[in-house]
Structure 1
Amino acid sequence: MGKNALVLSGGGAYGLSHIGAIKLFEEIGFVPDIIVGSSMGALIGALYSCGFNSKYMESIAVSFDTKLLLDFISSDKKRRRGLLQGDHVLNFLKLLTKNRTFNELDKQLFLNAADFFTGEEVLINEGSVAEAVRASVSVPWVFEPYKIGDRLLIDGSVSDPLPVNIAKKQGVDKIISVGFSEYTEDLEMDARAIYEKKMVKKNIHKIRKNLLKDMYCNDELNNKPRTVSVLEEGFVQIENMMDIVFNATLNENKKNSDLYIYIDLKKFSRMDFRKADKIINKGYKETKKYKDELIKLLDL
């Protein structure tokens, strides 16, 4: 029997719905051989690869107090490169993953991040799992970028929020992907999305060059942190552009998936971490709609 891959997309709090999807997978006996994740999908995928079940992951998600993020704000003005320094996040990730390396995982795991200077996708499948996740969730303006090797890395969704291409390169038999944007076969919309993706890439490059560079590299600006409102506004702009990038790559990724599971989370925000229980439950219900297709496709 060939190997099966599960690809989990990024999406902020939306990514918590992956826990609900995994709960359904557990019920029908689907155990992926390979897991690929981006951003929040990288975090959930890493925990899943560590051997944690959906019940355990849900207990963490619903009990986590987002106010703790305030403790993550850097007090070292010379080091401040974003709203969140990220050291506490990294320590938390090391605790969750028990500081495992990729070689020590129960399942094969592949995560993506983006090169800070070029936006190029970077595959991470060796070394510290916690550090890989830290890099993949490094949302520009929110987290400091994270250096692995000689590359400065930011959120994987900047390059590809649903990295089906990584799974495809592993030569798997079946690819199941989970995302939050609807699939369309409208060719006109396809062409528009491709154009928008090109424009977004230009905009992201411009922001990276003119604004992110200031925040991360200019000591004078780092002497005084940007206000939260400015950071939030910037995050919304980045998030909106990521939506367009996602939509522009979705059809290609879907076509390379044997089954694309769409989780409708329009009633929620990507910042709704306090609604973890509802988002997880929604993920379960939406994935359940694909139960028969999954069983047939995977011969369960």
Structure 2
Amino acid sequence: MRPELRQESQTPPRRVAFVLSGGGSLGAIQVGMLQALLEEGIKPDLLVGTSAGAVNAAWVAGLPHCDGVKDLAGIWCGLRRQDIFPLSPWAGARGLIGRTNHMIPNEGLRALLDRHIPYQRLEDAEVPIHIVATDLKTGHAVILSSGPAVPALLASTAIPGVFPPVTIGRRELVDGGVADMTPIAAAIAQGATHVYVLPIGYSWLRQERTNAIGMAMQALARVVEQRLHVEVAAFGHSADIRLLPTIDGPAVSPADFSRSPELISRAYRATKRYLSKPPAELKESEAPRRVVELAPLSAQVA
């Protein structure tokens, strides 16, 4: 056999990716998932994250071990709404009348990231990290794999209208969830052969909503869920994709961090149960379709 043909027939090296979706304060769920994965010896060769998932991914990229995730859990359990979503009638009014393009400044989040992210630049992380943001002009996903870490994370978490857009290079960037809430495609593009998806889950799909905010959130959740299933189906032939189970839980606003300990604990137990199944049973179709009750962001921020 010719050497080049023999090389082409070789199985590609195993590359494990963790893909972390967005979800505000519900990102605490992913901390429990991460702890369970690492305890079972499942370690990432690369991480891809959107919004809150980008922050979790960035932390694990710098401290990819159980003790690192325990420290991350401590940070989540110590967060308060005002740390991330400080309410200011003056700032809110300026946003409403068009004096600014946002209602909440991102200084609190910036200070948190400056204090805790264990590296300055994305390429300095111990595990390759890829942050998803959205180009405000085109609406397309932008993958940030190098450059200053904190601006990239601020861009990925910049909820349109809530936080200010972040300029990186010549682009204005906003929350990665606008373009790609669960960036499986980005992980495949980076050479992942095994993908563990750490979703949040949305209860809006199973409840009838009659008010405007509820209907809007339900529609958004439907789009996110459908896109997730489309990506799993589309890339299932390219990689082994494991969709971790989400959890049942109480009504939680994306801006309410008070339930973080409970969410972490429940997600940890659910993931341990899932991973304890025999390998033949670890299929995406068998992952529980449970969800967390998601309360409107406006209930905590407005």
Equivalent AA in structure 1 for residue 156 of structure 2: S
Q: Deviation of residue 88 (structure 1)?
A: 3.1
- Native 8 Å contact 2:50 2:176 kept in 1: yes
Distance change >3 Å, CA 273–CA 235, structure 1 → 2: farther
Matched, 1:287 2:271: yes
Equivalent AA in structure 2 for residue 289 of structure 1: R
After TM superposition, the score normalised by the length of structure 1 is 0.74
Equivalent AA in structure 2 for residue 262 of structure 1: P
| Structure 2 SS opposite 1:161 | coil
**Distance in 1 of aligned mates of 2:119 and 2:231:** 31
| Structure 2 SS opposite 1:14 | helix
Task: Tell me which of 64, 73, 76 is aligned to 1:58.
Answer: 73
**Distance in 1 of aligned mates of 2:58 and 2:99:** 28
Matched, 1:84 2:104: yes
Q: Deviation of residue 121 (structure 1)?
A: 0.8
**Distance in 1 of aligned mates of 2:137 and 2:216:** 16
**Distance in 1 of aligned mates of 2:87 and 2:169:** 24
**Distance in 2 of aligned mates of 1:94 and 1:128:** 11
Distance change >3 Å, CA 167–CA 156, structure 1 → 2: same
Matched, 1:42 2:54: yes
Q: Deviation of residue 132 (structure 1)?
A: 1.0
Equivalent AA in structure 2 for residue 175 of structure 1: V
User: 2:156 matched to which residue of 1?
Assistant: 136
| Larger relative contact order, structure 1 or 2 (CA cutoff 8 Å, min sep 6) | 1
- Native 8 Å contact 2:155 2:175 kept in 1: yes
User: 1:105 matched to which residue of 2?
Assistant: 125
The alignment yields a C-alpha RMSD, in angstroms, of 2.8
**Distance in 1 of aligned mates of 2:200 and 2:188:** 20
| Structure 2 SS opposite 1:81 | coil
**Distance in 2 of aligned mates of 1:242 and 1:126:** 30
Equivalent AA in structure 2 for residue 112 of structure 1: V
User: 2:230 matched to which residue of 1?
Assistant: 252
Task: Tell me which of 72, 80, 83 is aligned to 1:68.
Answer: 83
Query: Deviation digits for residues 42-93 of structure 1, max 9, x if unmatched?
Result: 0100111111622101111111222234657596759732121113322321
Q: Deviation of residue 168 (structure 1)?
A: 0.5
User: 1:194 matched to which residue of 2?
Assistant: none
Distance change >3 Å, CA 240–CA 144, structure 1 → 2: farther
- Native 8 Å contact 1:74 1:80 kept in 2: no
- Native 8 Å contact 2:199 2:243 kept in 1: yes
- Native 8 Å contact 2:21 2:199 kept in 1: yes
Q: Deviation of residue 268 (structure 1)?
A: 3.5
Task: Tell me which of 1, 20, 25 is aligned to 1:13.
Answer: 25
User: 1:161 matched to which residue of 2?
Assistant: 181
Distance change >3 Å, CA 15–CA 122, structure 1 → 2: same
Distance change >3 Å, CA 46–CA 265, structure 1 → 2: farther
Structure 1 residue runs without a partner (length 5+) = 183-188, 190-232
Of Structure 1 and Structure 2, the greater helix share is in 1
After TM superposition, the score normalised by the length of structure 2 is 0.73
Matched-pair identity in %: 23
- Native 8 Å contact 2:22 2:54 kept in 1: yes
| Structure 2 SS opposite 1:5 | strand
